[in-house]
Amino acid sequence: MGWPLAVSAGLLERSSRALLLALVYLTVGHLLAMLAATLPFALLSTLVAWQRSIQIGASLLVLGFGLYLLVQRRHPRALARIPPTQLVLWSFAVAMAHGAGLMLVPIYLGLSSSSAMAGHHSSGVTVNANLSLAVVVSVVHTLAMIGAGGLLAWLVYRYLGPKFVSQSWFNLDALWAGSLVLVGAVSLAFNIVAID
């Protein structure tokens, strides 16, 4: 959701270099937020006996947060005008506030349980494998996010301009909250079916 800030940076500086630099800052902030959300669950997932309960809890957390965002529509105005020098902090704060990292938790937990270490490996090996998987999931998500957002920012900056954004804006917050509800519900359904 930071691509409009990249467009703004490019337009204010009248430079595609400013747009690309803004995308780098957004990438760093988003990746830090993804890691902050997934790494604690990577440590928790080593508790194999509690794996299913942790997955169900994470699914309920994502589902509940998505419902909260659908009900609570107010958007903080302080986040609207951010100078390019603070994009890393903005990207981190918004990704945490919108629950982007939470969306990855059920996906990560599903991957970590499907690739669980067999046999009697030490907990240190399991922790390292889970932490590595959390980093990979966070990096892949961040690259996909910055690729899609960066392409959209470039197209708007290069071809469509700010008038297009102001005339064709739609509610990204509602779309995002709905996607959190969908991921949480699907994850919860898979975990409940797996119990039966």
Type of residue at 62:
V
What pTM value is reported for the model?
0.63
Domain boundaries of the chain, sorted by first residue:
3-195
The H-assigned helical ranges of the chain are 3-13, 16-44, 51-71, 87-97, 100-114, 123-155, 161-167, 172-195
Q: Which residue has the higher pLDDT, 3 or 16?
A: 16
Residue 169, both tokens: 């804006």
55-98 pLDDT, tens digit per residue, is 788 788 888 888 887 888 766 565 556 777 788 888 888 787 77
